[in-house]
């Protein structure tokens, strides 16, 4: 069974650029996001929960435990070469999750001639612990970036400050459960963009690969991919245009981002339920050595309204949002003033 490489972290931390660099290696297959690895129950009880994997309905789909309300997995992209009936048969054929995954990636790997697969979905951060437990030869890469630049990038892509901060906080905090693990590697966007030879080289050695600077040059057949709000193409030539993204925003937007980052934290019950070691972006900054900024002018009401909208959205999709099942809370003005 071929075991692979899992990449996860907050959206807008460079994982899309990284996975395309890795896909330029002939021995690696890195395809579209599948969200296959984000559900703890698939690892712990595959026979009971595999039937929900291909169900994307509101009531029958396998629901994510993280910030993004994703049901099941997206496994029918033509890149992977599966048709619905054959894929359904594959799910039923295997008695354990790792064996199914190996067979799922096999057709695309054979087509490329690759020997290892790479899967990048930001929500992979939720289950890096389970992945390393159930895939004895698997490796996990956690992509990180300055929280203010990350949130600024997400806001420029149309997310509200509440949604942007919550997604960064949940994904990053989950992945930090793996700090110190032998088969876990954390890579900072600022480092490897500024000095790819040193920091990408270290990442490649973690993967058991020699560093090849030629992968930094996109081949002619790769078309540029640049989502709305991105300053860096995920398939273009590597550059530093995204660094300092926060400081390129208007002052009013920066104030709102600072306030949201200071006021949103993980609920204690949610954090304890999932064994998460940190509750706030301030705590993340301490671990990742990013500067934490004083909060901007308050807009508590707007954040609270966004929270209620999110809870209503989850309710419509039959996601529980009560008690320790809802990830975040908003601190009061008095608490924020004391940060």
- For residue range 227-246, list pLDDT tens digits in order: 555 444 456 555 566 788 99
Q: What is the SS3 assignment for 264?
A: strand
Distance CA 309, CA 315 (A): 10
Q: In the chain, at which residue ranges do the beta strands (DSSP E only) sit?
A: 5-9, 28-30, 116-120, 139-144, 184-188, 264-266, 328-330
Q: What is the pLDDT of residue 170?
A: 98
| Full strand arrangement of the beta sheet holding 5-9 | 28-30, 116-120, 5-9, 139-144, 184-188
Distance CA 214, CA 227 (A): 25
**Contact (CB, 8 A) for 153 and 15:** no
Distance CA 272, CA 296 (A): 29
pTM for this model (two decimals): 0.91
Closest residue by Cα to residue 329 from 263, 257, 259: 263
All domains of the chain in start order, with CATH: 5-212+223-337 (3.40.50)
Q: What is the pLDDT of residue 269?
A: 94
What residues contact 250, with CB distance under 8 A and at least 6 apart? none
Per-residue pLDDT tens digits of the chain, which is 339 residues long: 567 999 999 999 999 999 999 999 999 999 999 999 999 999 999 999 999 999 888 877 889 999 998 889 999 999 999 999 999 999 999 999 999 999 999 999 999 999 999 999 999 999 999 999 999 999 999 999 999 999 999 999 999 999 999 999 999 999 999 999 999 999 999 999 999 999 999 999 999 999 999 989 877 666 554 455 544 445 655 556 678 899 999 999 999 999 999 999 999 999 999 999 999 999 999 999 999 998 978 899 999 999 999 999 998 888 877 777 899 999 975 455 444
H or E stretch at 113: none
Q: What is the pLDDT of residue 223?
A: 55
Closest residue by Cα to residue 288 from 121, 171, 127: 171
Distance CA 250, CA 278 (A): 30
Distance CA 326, CA 252 (A): 29
Closest residue by Cα to residue 66 from 121, 148, 125, 132: 125
Distance CA 306, CA 121 (A): 25
Closest residue by Cα to residue 13 from 250, 253, 245: 245
Distance CA 190, CA 188 (A): 6
Beta-ladder partners of 71: 63
**Contact (CB, 8 A) for 104 and 50:** no
Q: What is the pLDDT of residue 338?
A: 43
Distance CA 30, CA 66 (A): 23
**pLDDT digits over 323-333, tens only?**
778 999 999 75
| Residues present in the chain in total | 339
Closest residue by Cα to residue 169 from 263, 85, 106: 263
Cα dist from 170 to 125, 126, 231, 243, 283, whole Å? 9, 8, 24, 22, 12
């Amino acid at each position: 069974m071929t075991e692979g490489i899992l990449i996860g972290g907050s959206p807008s931390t460079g994982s899309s650029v990284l996975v395309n660099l890795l896909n330029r290696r002939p021995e690696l297959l890195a395809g579209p996001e599948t969200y296959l690895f984000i559900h703890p129950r698939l690892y712990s009880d595959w026979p009971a929960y595999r039937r929900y994997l291909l169900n994307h309905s509101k009531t029958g789909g396998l629901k994510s435990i993280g910030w993004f309300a994703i049901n099941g997995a997206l496994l029918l992209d033509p890149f992977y070469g599966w048709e619905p009936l054959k894929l359904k048969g594959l799910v039923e054929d295997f008695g354990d999750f790792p064996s199914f995954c190996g067979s799922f990636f096999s057709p695309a790997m054979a087509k490329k001639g690759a020997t290892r697969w790479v899967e990048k979905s930001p929500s992979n951060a939720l289950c890096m612990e389970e992945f390393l437990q159930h895939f004895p030869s698997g490796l996990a890469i956690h992509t990180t970036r300055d929280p203010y630049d990350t949130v600024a990038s997400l806001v420029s892509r149309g997310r509200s400050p509440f949604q942007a901060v919550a997604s960064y906080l949940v994904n990053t905090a989950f992945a930090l459960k793996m700090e110190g693990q032998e088969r876990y590697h954390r890579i900072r966007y600022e480092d490897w963009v500024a000095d790819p030879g040193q920091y990408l080289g270290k990442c490649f050695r973690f993967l058991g690969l020699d560093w090849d600077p030629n992968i930094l040059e996109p081949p002619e057949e790769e078309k540029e991919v640049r989502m709305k709000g991105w300053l860096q193409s995920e398939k273009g030539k590597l550059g530093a245009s995204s660094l300092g993204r926060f400081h390129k925003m208007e002052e009013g937007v920066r104030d709102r981002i600072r306030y949201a980052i200071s006021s949103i934290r993980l609920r204690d019950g949610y954090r304890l339920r999932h064994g998460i070691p940190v509750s706030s972006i301030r705590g993340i900054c301490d671990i990742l050595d990013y500067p934490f900024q004083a909060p901007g002018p308050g807009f508590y009401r707007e954040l609270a309204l966004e929270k209620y909208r999110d809870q209503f959205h989850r309710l419509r999709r039959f996601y529980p949002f009560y008690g320790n099942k809802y990830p975040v809370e908003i601190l009061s003005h008095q608490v924020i003033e004391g940060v």
